[in-house]
Chain A
Amino acid sequence: MVEILASQVISGLATGCVYALVALGFVLIFKATDVVNFAQGEFVMASGFISYTLLIWYGLPYWGVFFITIVLSGFMGVALERVVVRPIMSAPIFSIVIATIGASTVMRSTAGIVYGYDVLPLPTIFSKDPIRLGVVTFTIMDVGVIGFSILIMLVLYLFFKWTKTGMAMRATAQSQTAAQLMGVSVKQIFSLTWAISAGIGGIAGVLIAPIIYLDPNLGVIGIKAFAGAILGGFGSIPGAIVGGMLLGVLENLSGYFFNAGIKQVSTYILLILVLIIRPNGLFGAVAIKKV
């Protein structure tokens, strides 16, 4: 029983890390631009297909594909920002959100047209063979996903804390006007934010596609990740990470203790419960605007 529980927690953490990365993408864009980007899930899906194309159609080596995919995802993010978001930047936030939903539909259909709607297996260098360590059984894939995710989060943390660009991004998130007055090019920061978010989505895609097979509807993971971000407190970066991981683990455990039906809705039950008890999410803080 303990063994089973332990392996459930570990695989839940692995999926949770992917949710966390996607949630992070949501929060970064939101903090900088107040926009909720509903195409975030599709960045994950698109990167899955890009890596598929590079791996299978062009036969490139795995690590090369990994990095090229992330870079291409970043470009996709910038493209989306320039083409869809920037022209309507002065519109109400809701309109911009709808535009991102539209973009997500376009991306999904494009993937369907190019690759078909059939499910595709994506190979990975991380083996899925089981390893036993005491009471715990896990796979290298789990370790790889968790390890990489933590690495990325660390890199981002260091980036935001110690680099000038990172600080500029934090400044823009706090107050666009003040940042502009300090000489920060807000337009560039926006593009960079979108690039980083899409890049993170890209990493999530490369990590998760081999686990759950590739198909154009993969983007629904964005909804789960969004719930994870709200859970952790939308607007809080550690919140997004904790929320995502918590979601992954709790999903698995609810599937184990209850049944498949409960597992599917566990995300939303959890969300409702947390929001009732703590309306701002686990780490969210009430923003007090002083006039």
Chain B
Amino acid sequence: MNRWLNGCVALLTVATLWLMSGVAPTWAEVGVTDKEIVVGAGLDLTGAVANWGVNIKAGMEAVFNRVNEAGGVHGRKIKLISYDHVYQPPKAVANAKRLVERDKVFIMMGHLGTPTTKAIKEYLEERQVPNIFPATLASLWATSGKWHVGDLATYADQTWLIIDYLVKERKLTKIASFYQDDEYGLDGHLAGKARLKQYGLDYIAEVDYKRADIDFSSQAAKLKESGAEAVILQAVYREPPRLAEQCHAIGYDPLFIGPSPIVLDKTIELGGKHVEGVIGVEVYPLPTDPGPFMDQYRADMQKYFPNLALDTTNLYGYQKAALFVELLQRTGRDLTRETLLQTVTTIKDWDPGWGLKYSYGGDDRRVMSRSARLVIVKDGKWTKMTDWFEVEEAKR
């Protein structure tokens, strides 16, 4: 009796272990089944840039919901699994492992944050998981090789545009840089320095802050002392209003200008009158701009997320997902990581319906767009200031 019982237990254990070892459903590719594509995203949902994270997720889900309702792409529905990394690199790493190893995602989609995405970069390469259109426009992704594909003009490109505007249009020479002291801030900051050097200039002050910092009185003091006429903000949405407020509190009123992460309604909500006149770089249209793609965006957001206000933040996620769906569409039924990455290189002059075109920039510039323009806070709203440029590719 005992031996029989022992035998049963042994058999049961072996069976359980065998089942757990991943006798998985037959997948032609990880994360892709006959009926479904599973994509993963690490986002900041409760931390320092939560406004971006929550909205990017909503924008992506709006596209996926619409596509799924129409039957999916080539018969496969898209499922998005996302985890919160609170804008902290160690958490991003833990979440990425979960997504890749436990949830077995096909690709990493729209991963938010430069320092956080940088933290998982090597892991994704090692695991051969494509990093598609991460929600970070650092120039790093343009030159990181096969497994990384960016979508829009980089922070480096944008800062070159800013410097050109300040030096050539506004004829300013006393330009300061206020930047987040990590890979995000440094990207634009160093690119700007290189561009200024081409004009025979340099930053008149370089003032940094630590990610998630909330008080900038010393930085404001240093900027005022330097006499800078313009301050370039390599920041997100909590810093510009606070910095502007603290500068104004000590009687200092320079021109504030910064790249795309500062262009969202939250900046204006927090800053009020202090951010009036702040200039930002946009690399995709405003949520109120015209076009069939924009109409679809507005309709989808209204349908799936009626409680979220239309903002550059959800449009950002929306356009990433739309571009990804186009990739899936073109790749066809034979969907693997290799075939998807191959399709990326075929995108040329594709306008989803908003007047701007996506084109693969080449192996040295794995980014899909060069479009940028300047916008300004006018009467409490981000307003178009210039027409669209095709930016020069920036080198740090």
Contacts and interface: CB of A to CB of B under 8 A. Distances in A.
Interface of A: 1, 4, 7-8, 11-12, 15, 112, 117-119, 121, 128-130, 132, 137-139, 141, 212-213, 216-217, 252-256, 259-261, 263-264
B245 A128 contact: yes
7 contacts: A118-B50, A119-B237, A121-B241, A121-B272, A129-B249, A255-B218, A260-B219
Contacts of A139: 249
Interface residues of B, number: 35
B210 A256 contact: no
A119 B51 CA distance: 8
Contact of B251 (A130, A216, A252): A130
Quick one: which of B215, B225, B237, B251 has the most chain A CB within 10 A?
B215
Contacts of B66: none
Contacts of B215: 15, 212, 255
B213 A213 contact: no
B204 to A, nearest CB: 16
Given A117-B47, A121-B270, A213-B238, A260 B210 contact: yes
A100 B224 CA distance: 43
A contact patch SS: helix
A255 B219 contact: yes
Contacts of B50: 117-119
Given A119-B51, A213-B270, A130 B249 contact: yes
B54 interface: yes
B210 A130 contact: no
B210 A255 contact: no
Q: Is the interface of B mostly helix, strand, loop or mixed?
A: helix
Nearest to B218: A255
Interface string B228-261: 0000000001100110011011110000000000
Contacts of A129: 248-249
A137 B225 contact: no
B255 to A, nearest CB: 18
Contacts of A117: 45-47, 50
B225 A4 contact: yes
A119 B266 contact: yes
Nearest to B209: A260
A8 B221 contact: yes
A68 to B, nearest CB: 25
B329 interface: no
Nearest to A258: B218
Contacts of B164: none
Contact of B51 (A118, A256, A264): A118
Interface in B152-209: 181, 207-209
Contact of A260 (B45, B213, B270, B272): B213
Nearest to B180: A260
Given A128-B249, A130-B248, A255-B219, A121 B214 contact: no
B269 interface: yes
Which has the most chain B C-beta neighbours within 10 Å: A7, A139, A141, A253? Answer: A7
Interface string B49-86: 01100100000000000000000000000000000000
